[in-house]
Homo-oligomer: A and B are copies of this chain.
Amino acid sequence: MMSAGMETRSMGAVMAGIEAPVVIPSKPKHNLVSRQAKATDTVVQVGPVALGGPRFVVIAGPCSVESPEQMIATARAVKDSGATILRGGAFKPRTSPYSFQGMGEDGLTLLALAREVTGLPVVTEVMDSEDLAVVAAYADMIQIGARNVQNFSLLKKLGRVNQPILLKRGLMTTIDEFLMSAEYILAAGNPQVVLCERGIRTFETATRNTLDLSAVCVLKERTHLPVIVDPSHAVGARRFVAPLARAAMAVGADGVMVEVHCSPESALCDGDQSLCPSDFAHMMDELVVMGPSLHRAL
């Protein structure tokens, strides 16, 4: 049974919004993303979940949608442990053209199925403006990946979509540039943006990237938008995900997004950094215990 407000949108309606020409108004006195423009925290509603409010939100799910069985099993597991938003990639940005590129629209239908089964709203990535209408028709929140954080044409079009956007920081994006990418979306008309720190590229190779938790402090000071953290992609090794999720809560993030797979050793993508359901349950227990000391409930 689907929750109210989570039905799949009509693609025609979405297209109409996207295809209208995007006009960016002239520069306001203060950037729209800034605390000067809006002092109070923005709360972004993703289905029944409020992101940016008092609750610490955990988004979980597999890197890629692979099959109905994998998607349903993982969705049920993360829901049972307390995750409130489901993630899963249907269009996958891969360094090599020969790697698995995702299931495309078939993956989106499996996400919708998992949403129907669990009632969890879903977030999934769009990689290209020509796929935006179809992604928007299925997703409750649309993710822009790190490699597209300065794909300005796509950002402008997201300003025409009436859905929350999860914008991931690029590996090379300064905090100022990151905020300007969000500004593209707000300036084009969509105020529902959630920022996600997911590790930056540095000289250190012991971890996949370097998670920049100071950035959360800086972002919370400069912008009213919610800020979450993705420790899975940052660190690239599942045994470090839980401590970094705890650190994300401690530093003041509004939530985390972590990769969970019902069977990580057989994952088609990023298995090394995916938690199995029992490790995820353990991580959630730790966050639940820590929460009250930080005035955060899950």
Contacts and interface: CB of A to CB of B under 8 A. Distances in A.
B215 A206 contact: yes
Contacts of A96: 27, 180, 183
Nearest to A152: B93
Given A153-B131, A174-B205, A244 B213 contact: yes
A212 B203 CA distance: 12
A58 interface: no
A141 interface: no
Interface in A257-278: none
Nearest to A207: B214
Q: How many copies, total?
A: 4
Interface string A195-227: 000001111111100111111111001000000
A164 B57 CA distance: 42
Contacts of A213: 211, 213, 244, 247
Which 4 residue pairs of A and B lie closest in terms of their CB atoms, listed nearest first? A172-B172, A128-B153, A27-B98, A250-B250
Interface of A: 24, 26-27, 91, 93-98, 101, 127-131, 147-148, 150-154, 156, 170-172, 174-177, 180, 183-184, 187-188, 200-207, 210-218, 221, 234-235, 239-240, 243-244, 246-252, 286, 289-290, 292-294
